[in-house]
Amino acid sequence: MTNQVQKLLHSCKDDFEKGPGMKWLGYSQDMWTSRNTDGALGLSLTFITREMIPVRLAAALVKMNGSHSSACVADKLVEICSSRFNIDLPNSAVGGGSDTASAARAMQSVLNVEQDDCTMHVVSLILAYTIGMKENYRTTTKIDNDGKEVKIQCIVTPGGPFPFGAETCKFLRDLSNYFSSSPIRKEEFQKLKKSFILPMQTIKNPGETRVSSHVTLLQTAMMNYFALTVYSIKTDDEVFKNLWAKYNSDCRWKVCGELN
């Protein structure tokens, strides 16, 4: 950490803690598993100086292979802030940002600070609900005609699902599978793109487990839009013609761009 940032941090700490005694610090944290299976913990600190200059500090990136419970992660963050910056995190932090995992959100409760969901994860969740990867259910109970208690699940996702978006992604996956399942089709499609001097990028379908997988699908499908249009005119394969006729529309490709 540079001397300038160190001075700003301690100056802000002195202004608030020795003066009005207010909480003044914000932080965000995340945990993930690296390629060599080591657990990694990242921490950043955010504060505003007396001159109203916003500062965001990359505070730590450390290995953490022990328990990833909210209490253990909270203890580790407190230790880092104390040893590196002489900051009492629970008494200085007004809010903490994290992803929307229950353990991460619970950590803010351990430290008794306000929870702020990571904006990237909020966007990710919006997309996940939009394209049908997630549904938010609520379980209620009622008494049936025989006097028995039965459980009923109903969708309570704010705004409701967007079936057209989910159907669009299914259409793109079907296009990807159409070519990937047949070397002959794939070769014909590549030859067509080469003859029109088009990108040789295939339509990638990494799977449905993550939003980023759908983004890859959307991007690579859009790169192939012109080639797909030409292929639909030139091919005699009724399977592709039926698929293209059933799903292809300007609205659908517009949605591809908006979701992407």
pLDDT-derived band of residue 107, with 50, 70 and 90 as boundaries? Answer: confident
Cβ 230 vs Cβ 189: under 8 Å: no
Q: Is the pLDDT of residue 124 over 80?
A: no
- Determine the Cα–Cα distance for residues 211 and 112; give it in Å rounded to an integer: 31
For residues 196-210, average pLDDT: 85
Output the pLDDT for position 221. Answer: 93
Domain count, the chain: 2
Regarding beta strands 93-98 and 25-33, do their DSSP bridges make them parallel or antiparallel, or are they unpaired? Answer: parallel
Domain end, chosen from 116, 131, 151, is at: 116
Helix (H/G/I), strand (E/B), else coil: 24: coil
Q: Is residue 171 part of a domain?
A: yes
Mark whether 104 and 189 lie in a shared domain: no
Q: Is the pLDDT of residue 25 over 60?
A: yes
Render 63-113 in DSSP notation, one character per residue: E--S---HHHHHHHHHHHHHHHH---HHHHEEEEEE-S-HHHHHHHHHHT-
Phi, psi of 50 (to 5 degrees): -65, -25
Number of H helices, E strands in the chain: 11, 7
Mark whether 92 and 174 lie in a shared domain: no
Which range is least confidently modeled, 36-40, 71-75, 88-92? Answer: 36-40
Mark whether 167 and 243 lie in a shared domain: yes
- Determine the Cα–Cα distance for residues 207 and 211; give it in Å rounded to an integer: 9
Give the start-end residues of each E strand in the chain. 25-33, 39-48, 54-63, 93-98, 114-117, 137-143, 149-155
Q: Output the six-digit token pair for 119.
A: 């904006």
- Determine the Cα–Cα distance for residues 97 and 107; give it in Å rounded to an integer: 10
Q: Is the pLDDT of residue 207 over 70?
A: yes
Mark whether 112 and 200 lie in a shared domain: no
Q: Of residues 249 and 211, which shows the higher confidence score?
A: 249
Q: Is the pLDDT of residue 50 over 80?
A: no
Position 186: which residue type? K
Residue 146 DSSP class = T
Domain end, chosen from 116, 144, 178, is at: 116
Q: Is residue 134 part of a domain?
A: no
The model's pTM is: 0.51
Question: At 80, which CATH number?
Answer: 3.30.420.40
Mark whether 109 and 168 lie in a shared domain: no
Q: Is residue 128 part of a domain?
A: no
Mark whether 170 and 109 lie in a shared domain: no
Strand partners, 56: 46
Mark whether 12 and 88 lie in a shared domain: yes
Torsion of CA 252, 254, 255, 257, to 10 degrees: 130
Q: Is residue 172 part of a domain?
A: yes
Structural domain range at position 92: 3-116
Position 236: which residue type? D
For residues 80-105, average pLDDT: 84
Q: Is residue 66 part of a domain?
A: yes
Domain end, chosen from 51, 82, 116, is at: 116
Q: Of residues 54 and 227, which shows the higher confidence score?
A: 227
Q: Is residue 130 part of a domain?
A: no
Q: Is residue 149 part of a domain?
A: no
Helix (H/G/I), strand (E/B), else coil: 114: strand
Q: Is residue 182 part of a domain?
A: yes
Cβ 199 vs Cβ 219: under 8 Å: no
Mark whether 110 and 177 lie in a shared domain: no
